[in-house]
A and B are shown apart, each in its own frame.
Chain A
Amino acid sequence: MGMSWATLGRSRMYFWLLTAPAVLYIVVWRLAPALYTVWLSLTQYNIVYDALPRWNHFENFGRILRDGGLRGSLSLSVQFAVIATAAEVLIGLAVALFLDTDPPGRNLLLGIFLLPMIMAPVVVGTVWSTLFDRTVGPIPYLFQVLRGPDIQWLATPATAMLALLLADAWEWAPLVALLLFAALQVLPREQFEAARVDGAAGWQLFRRITLPQIAGMIIVAAGLRVMDAFLELDKVFIMTGGGPGTSTQFISMFVYKQAFQFYELGYASAVITVVLAALALAYAMYLRGYGRALRPADSR
């Protein structure tokens, strides 16, 4: 694979140096800031009152434990992430299975279906704000025509959450579909054909043959989505701003407000550090747990 030492000769040294700019760049603009966030989490640093961050004896972490608002945000984020991911996996799986039957214009259809995921998240947020708006939106209008209840969709806690979930499913079910479709495409057909000859059909064929083979990818896709949805921010900004009240103030919005509205950089950093450490741990355990659960199914 690599070029031999002899042919490269002295230039081997320079060759190696080609990575230097990229590595340096990533260290300065990605790694160092992340580490600085960890350091800030140990300090009192309100940019209005404090000239410099100063160490405050892990006070931020005590505050995290006592902060009811933070707990509320965490629980909202968990609800949002779990429900959105479940919806995205269901829709994504259905679309992937459909595309796998090779309908005419399949690639174009996939391209169109991917559009919401490729367009800017703020545009996705705007699309759904528009759809739910009471002056220009078709959804409140439909309710009005059908003499349904007059709902302030984005200004009522439950429906604001629902609207965000819908927007997220619209945006990200395509990613799940893309990954599962890729997995379906490489499945060996023999086993499938053999089962069909044995008289298995439809649902049985899916449950016994297809599902176990793409279960790994479903788990990976769901994991990616949960992590990402847990930290959702862009659409919340556009659609609800975290409101009404704090009813859609997910964890990222909580951190954003701590940092850029209350200027509590130390505390905000502590929340980020703790949440991400917990998230990484949960993700590792999730993958391990499922790895174990999957193995017997594979050997069967």
Chain B
Amino acid sequence: MTARRRWGHLVGIALVLAWTLPPFLYLVMLSIKPERILIERSQVFFWPTFERYRDFIASGLGLPIWNSLVTSTLGSAGTLLLGGLAALTFSFLEFRGKTLLFLVILIPRMFPPITTLIPIQLMLKTLGLIDTRLALIILFTGFEIPLAIWVLRTFLDEIPRELTESAALDGASLPAIIARIILPLSGPGMLAAFILSFIFNWNEFLFPLIVTSFNARTGAVAMMSFTAGYKKLQWGSLATLGVVMTIPVILFVLAFRGSLIRGFTAGALKG
């Protein structure tokens, strides 16, 4: 019985891995396959070349990745700041209309991006922000505020109220309570919210596509311009860009499996 169970487990694991990994590993393989045998598909074993990674920046792909990094990081920081402040209120304060206000914040998350695409492009054009990183930072800050509030609130709710109450009775001011008691205790929640919104920003495609052209275009948009060109497709470089785009995601998954799984479950159900 247990032997059969063990075999079942092995077969199951093999099936799951066989479904998930080969498609991505093929991209990794293409990225290190020498150019002259790139289309020789019978050659699966070869001496790998890392030229494409070495020449990554020289081939003009450094800028989009840098743009992605800067805008995703600053956008997530903005999300965390605005979402964090709001989460404090929602967690610690009872007031009339709280549920209503919470709904007003959560509902826009259910609008698919395409609903706001046209007005946002017009707005950014009016403001003269098309093809700037600032435009993306502004947009990214807004996208995940509802998710950040949701995630942070669940963490803040776990902070024992006696701590804040007694500090308040001792005459500590609100900013002092936040800085000395709440902030140190909400590290894991902030980290989870930051990583989630970073990943969503990093992966975002549609908005960067319509509000950037060259200077501020992100990694995702750069991938698109590979496939849309009329030149012969540079499969090797495209594969390399795809792998580079996935590295942060893989690192986050490996490092923060637990909180990511928790966050994605909550995000999907509330999104």
Contacts and interface: CB of A to CB of B under 8 A. Distances in A.
Given A7-B165, A126-B242, A179 B268 contact: yes
B39 interface: yes
Contact of A1 (B94, B249, B254, B264): B94
B161 A1 contact: yes
B186 interface: no
Given A23-B86, A104-B9, A113 B20 contact: yes
B104 A112 contact: no
A3 B164 contact: yes
Given A37-B119, A123-B223, A133-B235, A115 B261 contact: no
Interface stretch (A8-16, A67-75, A196-204, A291-299): A8-16
Contacts, number: 255
Interface stretch (B45-53, B54-62, B137-145): B137-145
A131 B26 contact: yes
A116 B20 contact: yes
Contacts of B257: 107-108, 110-111
Given A109-B16, A122-B205, A126-B223, A34 B115 contact: yes
Interface of B is mostly: helix
B142 A26 contact: yes
B227 A107 contact: no
30 contacts: A2-B93, A3-B168, A19-B89, A21-B85, A22-B145, A25-B142, A26-B104, A30-B108, A30-B142, A31-B104, A33-B115, A33-B120, A34-B111, A103-B9, A107-B257, A112-B21, A116-B23, A118-B253, A119-B246, A121-B205, A130-B27, A130-B238, A136-B38, A136-B39, A175-B264, A178-B264, A179-B265, A220-B269, A237-B209, A276-B115
Interface of B: 5, 8-9, 12-13, 16-17, 19-21, 23-24, 26-27, 30, 38-39, 41-42, 82-83, 85-86, 88-90, 92-95, 101, 104-105, 108, 111-112, 114-120, 122-123, 138-139, 141-142, 145-146, 149, 157, 161, 164-165, 168-169, 173-174, 199, 202-203, 205-206, 209-210, 219-220, 223-224, 227-228, 235, 238-239, 242, 245-246, 249-250, 252-254, 257-258, 260-261, 264-265, 268-269, 271
